[in-house]
């Protein structure tokens, strides 16, 4: 079984990006800038944002975090986003989710200029991705995609089963694999026989948020399994895949932690650099 080392893949990607930023600095005499807006004091969000900032600095990006208390008015956040949209030193804007209830997530997402939307959540980017045009691609599925390609560069005709249909993961993951000529099945909570669907798969991407849902006997011997889940349980953090069981059967599997997570952050940096490059044309 191949244990897909997301930490190593992310470190390699960051190294590539660091070189690219050096080249961009020489060419344009400026570096891409990432601004993250963090609202409230949820611990996981704070940890994510700290990691994003650290990684951005590591590859030489200009990075800034703007923090607001939970009680901040929606209007204040929207005004700040509009200001950042106009700021030429800001290539990418990310508003960390989840947001407090009184702030309209969709309004926030749609206020970010599509050309600075490093999350790829703006409807314009969603539409461009599904039409096969140039777009920002959500960081987690992009990270999953790059890990899959490392194990299997030619995905032509492969059968992929996505478990979970979220806008964050399942749907964009589908688009990325369709572009690679995979036959993609999207499954979800109402799917009749999830095990039978998974048993057909050459590639499984599990992104449902149900601890250890995908079992060993759901997986063929030559299947690549990507686990997007991060679930807090009594026995600590586990993914959506039963690691002990599936690792005995699958061809390749990502661990949790140390699989998809590190790649997500590296892909955010990649997206920031792509936004910068497109803005220079
Ligand atoms: N919170 C958890 N994952 C993400 C993500 O990919 N983007 C943003 N903006 N917030 C998140």
125: in domain: no
276: in domain: no
Give yes or no: residues 107 and 72 share one domain.
yes
CB burial readout 129-139, b (16+ within 10 A) else e: beeeeebbbbb
Ligand 1 centroid from CA 95, angstroms:
8
pTM here is 0.97
207: in domain: yes
Q: What is the pLDDT of residues 159-201, one digit of tens each?
A: 999 999 999 999 999 999 999 999 999 999 899 999 999 999 9
Active site residue 96: yes
Give yes or no: residues 106 and 165 share one domain.
no
Give yes or no: residues 95 and 154 share one domain.
no
266: in domain: no
Give yes or no: residues 254 and 153 share one domain.
yes
Count of domains for the chain: 2
- Identify the active-site residue in 62, 80, 96, 158: 96
Ligand 1 centroid from CA 98, angstroms:
7
Q: What is the pLDDT of residues 94-123, one digit of tens each?
A: 999 999 999 999 999 999 999 999 999 999
Question: 281: pLDDT confidence band, cut at 50, 70 and 90?
Answer: confident
Q: Could you give the count of Cα atoms lying within 13 Å of 133 in the half-sphere of its Cβ?
A: 6
The beta strands (E) that lie in the chain are given as: 2-3, 33-39, 62-68, 92-95, 159-163, 183-187, 203-206, 224-227, 231-233, 236-238, 252-253
- Residue 128's pLDDT is 98
Give yes or no: residues 79 and 41 share one domain.
yes
Contact residues of ligand 1, CB 6 A cut-off: 94-97, 119, 139-140
Give yes or no: residues 148 and 253 share one domain.
yes
236: in domain: yes
- Nearest C-alpha to atom 4 of ligand 1 is from which residue? 97
Give yes or no: residues 167 and 200 share one domain.
yes
Give yes or no: residues 145 and 242 share one domain.
yes
For residues 67-74, give the mean pLDDT. 98
66: in domain: yes
Q: Which of 97, 103, 265 to mutate to test the pocket of ligand 1 (most atoms within 8 A of CB)?
A: 97
Active site residue 277: no
φ/ψ (deg, to 5) at 198: -65, -35
Give yes or no: residues 221 and 175 share one domain.
yes
The residue among 114, 149, 173 that closes a domain is 114
Q: State the chain's mean pLDDT as an integer.
A: 97
Active site residue 52: yes
Ligand 1 centroid from CA 58, angstroms:
20
- Identify the active-site residue in 62, 80, 116, 119: 119
Give yes or no: residues 88 and 145 share one domain.
no
Ligand 1 centroid from CA 255, angstroms:
20
- Residue 104's pLDDT is 98
Residue 101 CA to residue 105 CA, distance in Å, equals 9
How far does Cα 225 stand from its chain's mean position?
16
6: in domain: no
Q: What is the pLDDT of residues 211-261, one digit of tens each?
A: 999 999 999 999 999 999 999 999 999 999 999 999 999 999 999 999 999
Question: Domain range spanning residue 182?
Answer: 139-261
Residue 124 CA to residue 272 CA, distance in Å, equals 17
For residues 116-141, give the mean pLDDT. 97
Q: Which of 36, 51, 94 to mutate to test the pocket of ligand 1 (most atoms within 8 A of CB)?
A: 94
228: in domain: yes
Ligand 1 centroid from CA 97, angstroms:
5
CATH code (residue 176) = 3.40.50.720
């Amino acid at each position: 079984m191949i244990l897909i080392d997301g930490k190593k893949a992310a470190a390699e990607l960051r190294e590539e990006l660091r070189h690219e930023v050096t080249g961009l600095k020489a060419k344009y005499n400026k570096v891409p800038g990432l601004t993250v807006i963090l609202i409230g004091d949820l611990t996981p969000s704070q940890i994510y944002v700290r990691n994003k900032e650290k990684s951005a600095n590591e590859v030489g990006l200009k990075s800034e975090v703007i923090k607001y208390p939970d009680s901040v008015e929606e209007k204040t956040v929207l005004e700040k986003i509009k200001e950042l949209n106009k700021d030429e030193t800001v290539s990418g804007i990310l508003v960390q989710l989840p947001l407090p209830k009184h702030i309209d997530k969709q309004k926030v997402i749609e206020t970010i200029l599509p050309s600075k939307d490093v999350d790829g959540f703006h409807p314009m980017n969603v539409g461009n991705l599904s039409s096969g045009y140039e777009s920002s691609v959500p960081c987690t599925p992009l990270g999953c995609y790059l890990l899959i390609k490392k194990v299997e560069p030619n995905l032509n005709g492969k059968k992929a089963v996505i478990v979970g249909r979220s806008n964050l993961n399942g749907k964009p993951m589908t688009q990325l694999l369709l572009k690679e000529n995979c036959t993609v099945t999207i499954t979800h909570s109402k799917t009749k026989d999830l095990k039978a669907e998974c048993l057909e798969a050459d590639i499984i991407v599990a992104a449902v948020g149900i601890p250890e849902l995908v079992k060993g006997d759901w997986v063929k011997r030559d299947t690549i399994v990507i686990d997007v889940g991060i679930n807090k349980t009594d026995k600590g953090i586990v993914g959506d895949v039963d690691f002990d069981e599936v690792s005995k059967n699958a061809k390749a599997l990502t661990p949790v932690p140390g699989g998809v997570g590190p790649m997500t952050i590296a892909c955010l940096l990649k997206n920031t650099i792509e936004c910068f490059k497109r803005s220079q044309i």
